[in-house]
Amino acid sequence: MKKTVLVLFLAAFLVVGVSSASMAQVPGYWDIKGAIDFGGEIDIEGSDQDVDSGFTLVGEYKVPNTAQWTFGGGVRYQLDREIDNSAQDFSFVPFYGLAHYNMQNSPYYFLGHLGYNTFDIDGYSDESGGMYYAVGAGMDLASNMSAEIMYSVNNGEAENSSGNNLDFEYAKLTVSLGYQF
């Protein structure tokens, strides 16, 4: 029930934000990124395990609100990655709202994400997603290119072969390069 309410809240937030921007005739823009997730750890019921690095494809729609603030929404598709010393692959697909704060007279900015992600892992059944959040910083490289570094956490749940539900928490550092249009 909590998950459904969170998803509905985020969907309503995105719809209201985008429609408000449309009515105000504020032009938004798309930001497409390629990202590398450096290792990180997955916590499975209190047991930390290292994770191989992986790639992520990102699509975001951003609408400037003021000279400093930009809001929007996005989706990140994490390609499968493997838990070290295991043959298990897993992936998350977060859907999120975002806030982006531009520092005055500077190409640097701070950003944050909050949302819900889906979860998939080999060898488990009845997978369900959970909360996704991220904080980071970025730099505009040109009028339509940017680079970012972020710390993010994905949460999920799955049932093992014994019928026990296990909680998963994947934390990682991500570096991305984006193109805006």
Q: Which domains does the chain have, with CATH numbers?
A: 2-180 (2.40.160.20)
Q: Which residue has the tokens 């309410």?
A: 5
Residue type, 16: V
Cα Rg of the chain, angstroms: 17
What are 89's two structure tokens?
A: 């692959």
Instruction: State which H helix or E strand residue 124 sits in.
Output: none
Q: What was the pLDDT predicted at 39? A: 82
Q: What was the pLDDT predicted at 86? A: 86
**What SS3 class is residue 91?**
strand
pLDDT along the chain (181 residues), means of 10: 57 58 73 95 94 97 96 98 91 98 96 98 93 98 96 96 94 98 94
Q: 141 near 149, Cβ under 8 Å?
A: no
Q: How many CA atoms lie within 13 A of 109 on its CB side?
A: 20
Cα distance between residue 50 and residue 43, in whole Å: 9
The model's pTM is: 0.84
Q: What was the pLDDT predicted at 15? A: 59
Q: 34 near 55, Cβ under 8 Å?
A: yes
Q: What was the pLDDT predicted at 119? A: 97
Instruction: State which H helix or E strand residue 159 sits in.
Output: strand 145-159
Largest interatomic CA distance in the chain: 57
Task: Name 131's Cβ contacts closer than 8 Å, sequence gap at least 6.
Answer: 6, 114, 115, 116, 117, 153, 155
